[in-house]
Structure 1
Amino acid sequence: MLTIFDDFYNNKNIPDFLDDDSILINKENNIQLKEFLINNEDLVTQMLSYFQYDELETDHKRVIKYPFVVSELLGSIYALNSNHLNFLIQLLNSQNHLPSITLGYITKIIMNVLKNNPSIFWQNVQLSQLNIIINDINNYNIAELLYSMIIYQTQQNQLEYLEQRIQFVDCLINQINTDKSEGISNVICMLLNQITETLQEQKSLIIKHLYTKLNNFFRALPLHPQSILKIFTNLIKYQQYYESEVNQIYNHFLQIQDMFSNIIQNQDNFGQNNLAYIEFYDVLTNQPYIVQNINAQQLAQSLFKLIQKYQYNNQLHKYATNIILKLIPQTDNQQLLETAIQEFNQQKKIEDLQH
């Protein structure tokens, strides 16, 4: 029996099909619509062609409405085959820079494939194709897509193609010390967060692999502290499972604690990178191992001086005060008090001179 969808298709009028607002109503449960799309591969191909970007195109529907409708349909109804998937990957790899909204549409559809049948993705996509997509990883839509490539969202076949997925993680980590560090950090933090019983088997193996890459993260830290410190903040959450590896992280930061003295001496502006370090040390000093082994006196005095030097930086004050309070039991309180009074008097002199 012919349906309204067949009428549109028989007339070869794709715009009419996409203009019919009723096709988006209850689309996930529309069995006729799903069967129609699955049985008409070339129609789906034509629908996907609306994602091809032409900056000279002026037709509002061609530029705005049709890509949106296609993404809503194919992002909800699993109707793609390997040819469609490769077509979308080629679009992402094209030399023409796609607008962010178009990237969002395409990633929504691919993520629907990954949600329903992740195996078809890894059966048909090569790592070399994904390397180009990594170039846009600082776009959060792309970061979410790459995460969905790595972690199967289904309970079945979680370990299928795991070797390829771990190789892909390595591709990301190998570029962590580049201008892609923010996006790569986002993907890694997604991997380290949101562990559920459904996803735990594959995630535990991937997380275990991440701990073998600590040296990559240490090397990238000086140039990309905000991105790398986010990763370390998440890695140390798993101390009970990876104690020796987390201790490597702790020991690294025990060795560089004099950096706060360098900040005091050499920098006029505090900046987001330095704030990221202070925030991370606030996390670190929650660990007894750190508090017992750190030079608490030196660190607390440096933090007092930072508070005084950057007296209008409320975020710095919050984290620094938190750290000092945790360090007090390990310090010479009298000396700390003298430092605080000295810094206060120094600032008072400056203010008096200004008036």
Structure 2
Amino acid sequence: MASSNFIDYVKINVRSGAGGAGSLHFRREKHVEKGGPDGGDGGRGGHVILKGNSQLWTLLHLKYTKHVKAFDGKGGEGGRRTGAIGKDIILEVPLGTIAKNAETGEELFEITEDGQEMILLKGGRGGMGNDHFKSATNQTPQHAQPGEPGLEEWIILELKVLADVGLVGFPNAGKSTLLSVVSAAKPEIADYPFTTLVPNLGVVSYRDYKSFVMADIPGIIEGASQGKGLGLRFLRHIERNSILLFMVPADSEDIKAEYQTLLHELQVYNPALLEKNRILAISKIDSLSDAERSILERQLPENVSTLFISAITQEGIERLKDLIWESINFPFSVG
């Protein structure tokens, strides 16, 4: 999918429907000289609702939707008939979508499950008809309530990709190549920085028909947490991954330093990211001789599960899947 089709941020003006007015009506029937009040209530205004859809992975369909308005409720009628409820507007969004108030930045809620529905803006309540206002001292109330007006707000919808494992590494670390090998995803792959311009998701098949979702996050560079390179635009997607798979190529000048730089960028952006379970994969190991590999083994970072992999020769791929599965499902068993 072209990079322009991945939209993870939209700002829209949302208006809920106004409630219908209550009816000011009196019973009028043949042979009934003075019928009492029988005005019905107005119908509530339509809500604006967000609904999770697991088949969506981008907010592209809302990119050009700047204004969303639900329908107004209908007024009440005589005979205590309640007005029709205004039609709700349902906006389907990908899982991992967060709704925020555009003015205050307050996070309202997030959509994390398929079919989950959350009311973004409630419709106005319908007004009560004059039937509600009769009393012993007022048999003919000349009053009915108007409906409540609808609400209007500017809302930000922000997508954070949901995946079991997120790939973290500098450009050209081999993340896209790995994703293309272990899943059916077909990310663009080339030997230049920032080949990956959007997060790519792939479903990785595992033993006994099990599977997990892997996300290739666009490459981080030193200073990304301050907005350099692709900057903060994609760092937020890492927050929604269950575990983090760091990737450093075997031909790196200093694997330990590169790994520490990646950790630092995540820590500056959000210290909570370092609490996630993580694995370090040394990619492109097929490019090293046995002697070079032996030297490299003595220079690896400590306190992280590390293994060598090659997407070309398939070395370490099955063991990597095992480690990922154990880390996702038995997080305390992987150091």
Which structure shows the bigger proportion of residues in helix conformation?
1
Identify the TM-score tier after normalising by the shorter chain.
under 0.3
Which structure shows the bigger proportion of residues in strand conformation?
2
Structure with the bigger RCO (C-alpha within 8 Å, sep 6+) is: 2
TM-score by length of 2: 0.25
Q: Which has the larger radius of gyration?
A: 2
